[in-house]
Structure 1
Amino acid sequence: MTLDIISRAEWGARAPRGRDTVSWSQRTGFMGHYSAASASQSVREIQNFHMDTRGWSDIGYNFLINSITGKVYEGRGWTTVGAHCAGYNTENIGVCIIGKDKAGVQDVSDAARRNFKLLYEEAERRKGGNLVLRGHRDRGSTTCPGDEIYSWLKAGLPIVGGTPTPPKPAPGKPAPGPAVAFPLPDGYYFGPASGGDRSVSGQHQRRFVGKTDRQWLQEFGRQLTRRGWSIGKGHTYLAGAGNDGIYGSEYTALIRAFQKDQSLGVDGRLGKKTWDAAYRNPVG
């Protein structure tokens, strides 16, 4: 599953007063924190507190994850030294779960846990090696990140039950026509907002061939509906937000399932090959 990271520009970050970078060879750990405050607290509020009250140059964490929605936010990023654990910021990537840890109660949603794990796996991929999972309390005199989150970290980030694989449509349905040409330029694809200019997310409503990117992604969803895939709010795919044309974890799961069904490369990105398969290939 592709991880969608909300960029600093998207959440309205202030410019840092300074920054120090670190090489991946110096990164040895991945450290979990929690904010010990309401999950409704915004990332900008945390940044304001760190800069205006703590006197730091920027928000202290490298990344942040909302404990309820699971949304992932870019803090200082992968290779900027954080301010989340005094004396250990160079070696550790600091990730804060925004919310409280309540003893005996799962206060971190499955979505937040999955995305924390995806972020950790992406960090190891970029590192090209293993990163030790740590909690703030491993390197500081603190109870952070709380008993429940800390135990989960030390257990290796287990995801109970995993992500179920929804059933695909019954085989034998032909793809209806006429075919619609892939609307993006060569090398572009529908993907996460954090993927750069060639990754088209629907967040900024860029226009291609007479329609917005959001409208084109919705068209892909409608095409799969015509082919028998269960799509929309309350349905098998896109059950939460519906076919809103904004690329995120739900579109990622849908595209990956379709790519698997069509024996394509499974990466969750909607490029030309996947788009064409929706209009040209038989189902099943």
Structure 2
Amino acid sequence: MLNIGCHLSVSKGYKAMGEDALSIGANTFQFFTRNPRGSKAKDIDPNDVVALLEILKENKFATILAHAPYTLNACSADVKTRDFARMIMEDDLKRMEFFPNSFYNFHPGSHVKQGTQIGIEYIINMLNSILKPEQTTTVLLETMAGKGTEVGRTFEELKQILDGVTLDGKMGVCFDTCHVYDAGYDIVNNLDGVINEFDKIIGLDKLYAIHLNDSKNPFESHKDRHETIGEGSIGIEAITRIINHPKLRHLPFYLETPNELEGHAKEIKMLREVYID
């Protein structure tokens, strides 16, 4: 079975996200832990959480994925910005324990001309200060497109972060198709090669989730602009190969395409039709 969903809004509540997912044919979903451009988080209603967990169990959902706000920059040159990132992520991980055994994804950040190695050290330090042995949440580093001074545009950079984290069993990677294509990994013409390179450098055992997005920009553009499935430079044929690849097909896929619920429903239907059970 294809495990696929999209990004849903938590504004209506947790149970509502589960209901929205079911309404569009999804069996998983992603959501922001709090305002994606700020720091305010929605109060957690335990009864609402229980209602969602029942939906997930009854409908055999794949693992859900929470996304950290875009405002976090764990490797900023500014200490207050780094402290803010640490505070928010630590709080997010406490909140995620309401949803046991879920994923939490974040952008590694931008080193802002300090240099990649300094940025990586800051990220490692933050993770080592907040990860707990008892947590059930797996924290995922997202592959990045490489715009500006982003950290995480190469598999090697992500590997360095993973190697520096003491509780490495709590860590993994979320593979964003738009980002890796924009970063210079040719998943259109050499998918096997990219997967083998990931396995050699990081290890496929660390690949937990895939952001399934087309790209508005050409290969190696470092632009990071998502497009609806089949309408961008990656294209439906390449995306069909991705969701059916024997080393990827078992993973949960999360759409972050520029669509509303109706559009996501159409994308999910199309992808289910080209997925080979």
Report if TM-score (shorter chain) is over 0.5: no
Larger radius of gyration: 1
TM-score where L is the length of structure 2: 0.28
Q: Structure 1 length normalisation: TM-score?
A: 0.27
